[in-house]
């Protein structure tokens, strides 16, 4: 008869242990009982970079990396991208269900009416150097928001949590657009509550002298689809940072600032920026084979390719490729798309990429669209952070309300010195003098 347990024999002692298997997983803490002696600490599992460790139980996002499946709360990403809106998806991710018409109306009203930022925050942003990276400005400013809302520390008060969630989702596009306007030396545009979430963001980014900004509906919708695709992605690097920082019970502004910092890195949300820089370096389709050679020799990475979880085509990249063509009909073709398509064509035929299951990820095409829409490369990670805020907050709230969670605190395997006595400065000086004479 089959049993949902794992039998482990410790060959050091000959003892046998039975460990329960639940959800195809064993609890690392069950290994602790495996000891050589009573005063032994017990066995730990070693898993740098969390390659095979589940850090939580979650009901938010499902990914099957081998099959290229992504679902939010059970709904396939393809259906959401086609039929939903970013704000509806944000509601779904946070609440677990799609909203009813009145719930959506209420949700949209709250988000729309929290878009303004305090004038002192505007002044805070004015302090940045003229060429400050907008992602650095976003990280710092979101962190600074915590000083404006001290009640946000009441993380176990549901009403307060709701309010901070409205504020964060509403204000992050404002902070993002102000960061951009600051970097190009243009006056800030205040939010326009008549517009949609993405329409208003485009207004704050690009409005010049016109009395009322009218977003192009194709671009507004394309941005909304991109925001849907970026809303959540289960336990990625920045979400893990959000949960880990949040597990100390800090306020959500500080935790989102930390998560955004994790997203900034080129191996994560900074990859779309890196893709564009790579495409600019390649310059033309003819140089693609030579670049692929450099990738295969290990000299450079093919940015926007590969994923820790997807070992198949990233479903988001498929949708984005389609959106690119719709955007180009309005903006004209971004010439770097030809280099990207050629890179993808060659890479997908090459054994180096095939054998390692390296496929384009979400970042491979998103930057090309953003660039065509007029966003500078520096803004790409910021454009990722805006929609991911809803995912971070959903995961943060799930973590807070999970009775199995505690402050995140991994173990280590200590390989440093054993105990040794402190050496006085004289002793160290003497030692240094001896080494210097020995090497003369």
**Minimum CB distance to ligand ACO smaller for 207 or for 316:** 316
**Minimum CB distance to ligand ACO smaller for 199 or for 270:** 270
**Minimum CB distance to ligand ACO smaller for 258 or for 304:** 304
> Residues in the chain, how many?
440
Catalytic residues: 268, 307, 363
Locus of tokens 């909304």: 224
Cα 404 to the center of its chain, rounded Å = 24
- Beta carbon of residue 35, minimum distance to ligand ACO (angstroms, whole number): 33
**Helix (H) and strand (E) counts in the chain:** 18, 5
- Beta carbon of residue 355, minimum distance to ligand ACO (angstroms, whole number): 9
- Beta carbon of residue 398, minimum distance to ligand ACO (angstroms, whole number): 20
- Beta carbon of residue 357, minimum distance to ligand ACO (angstroms, whole number): 8
Per-residue exposure over 32-69, b if at least 16 CB sit within 10 Å of its own CB, e if not:
eebbeeeeeeebeeeeeeeeeeebbebebbebeeeebe
The CB density around residue 363, as the number of other CB atoms within 10 Å, is 29
- Beta carbon of residue 359, minimum distance to ligand ACO (angstroms, whole number): 10
- Beta carbon of residue 314, minimum distance to ligand ACO (angstroms, whole number): 8
**Minimum CB distance to ligand ACO smaller for 27 or for 356:** 356
Tokens of 376: 């500078």
Cα→Cα distances 7→17, 133, 248, 334, Å: 6, 53, 35, 58
**Minimum CB distance to ligand ACO smaller for 278 or for 373:** 278
Per-residue exposure over 126-150, b if at least 16 CB sit within 10 Å of its own CB, e if not:
eebeeebbbbbbbbbbbbbbbeebe
Locus of tokens 């485009």: 202
Query: Concatenated DSSP letters for 195-240?
Result: S-HHHHHHHHHH--S-SS----HHHHHHHHHHHHHHS--SS-HHHH
Cα 374-194-231 angle, rounded to 5 deg: 55
**Minimum CB distance to ligand ACO smaller for 344 or for 363:** 363
Closest CA to 367 of 329, 325, 320: 320
Residue nearest to ligand ACO (CB): 306
What are the residues binding ligand ACO (CB under 6 A)? 267-269, 271, 295, 301-308, 356, 358, 361-363
């Amino acid at each position: 008869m089959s049993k949902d347990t794992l039998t482990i024999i410790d060959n050091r002692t000959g003892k046998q242990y039975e460990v329960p298997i639940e959800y195809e997983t064993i609890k690392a803490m069950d290994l602790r009982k495996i000891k050589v002696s009573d005063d032994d600490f017990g066995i730990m599992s070693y898993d740098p970079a969390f390659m095979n460790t589940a850090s939580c139980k979650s009901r938010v996002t499902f990914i099957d990396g081998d099959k290229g499946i992504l679902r939010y709360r059970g709904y396939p990403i393809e259906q959401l991208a086609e039929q939903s809106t970013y704000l509806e998806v944000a509601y779904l991710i946070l609440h677990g269900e799609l909203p009813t018409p009145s719930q959506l109306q209420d949700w949209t009203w709250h988000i729309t009416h929290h878009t303004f930022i305090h004038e002192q925050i505007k002044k805070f942003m004015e302090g940045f150097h003229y060429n400050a990276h907008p992602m650095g400005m976003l990280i710092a400013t979101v962190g600074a928001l915590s000083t404006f809302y001290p009640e946000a520390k009441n993380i176990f008060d549901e009403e307060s949590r709701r309010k901070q969630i409205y504020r964060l989702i509403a204000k992050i596009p404002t902070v993002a657009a102000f960061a951009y306007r600051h970097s190009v030396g243009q006056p800030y545009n205040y939010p326009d509550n008549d517009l949609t979430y993405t329409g208003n963001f485009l207004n704050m980014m690009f409005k010049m002298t016109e009395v009322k900004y009218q977003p192009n509906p194709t671009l507004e919708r394309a941005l909304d689809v991109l925001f849907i695709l970026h809303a959540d992605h289960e336990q990625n690097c920045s979400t893990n940072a959000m949960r880990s920082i949040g597990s100390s019970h800090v306020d959500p502004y500080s935790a989102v600032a930390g998560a955004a910092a994790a997203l900034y890195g080129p191996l994560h949300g900074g990859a779309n920026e890196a893709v564009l820089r790579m495409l600019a370096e390649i310059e033309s389709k003819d140089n693609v084979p030579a670049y692929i050679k450099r990738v295969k020799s290990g000299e450079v990475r093919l940015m926007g390719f590969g994923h820790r979880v997807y070992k198949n085509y990233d479903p988001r990249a498929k949708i984005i490729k389609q959106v690119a063509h719709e955007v180009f009909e309005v903006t004209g073709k971004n010439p770097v798309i030809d280099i990207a398509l050629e890179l993808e064509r060659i890479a997908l035929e090459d054994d180096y990429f095939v054998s390692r299951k390296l496929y384009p990820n979400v970042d491979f095409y998103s930057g090309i669209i953003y660039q065509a829409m007029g966003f500078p490369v520096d803004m790409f990670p910021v454009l990722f952070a805006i929609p991911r805020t809803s995912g971070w907050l959903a995961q943060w709230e799930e973590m807070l309300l999970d009775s199995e969670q505690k402050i995140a605190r991994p173990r280590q395997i200590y390989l440093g010195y054993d105990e040794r006595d402190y050496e006085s400065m004289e002793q160290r000086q003497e030692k240094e003098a001896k080494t210097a004479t020995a090497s003369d």
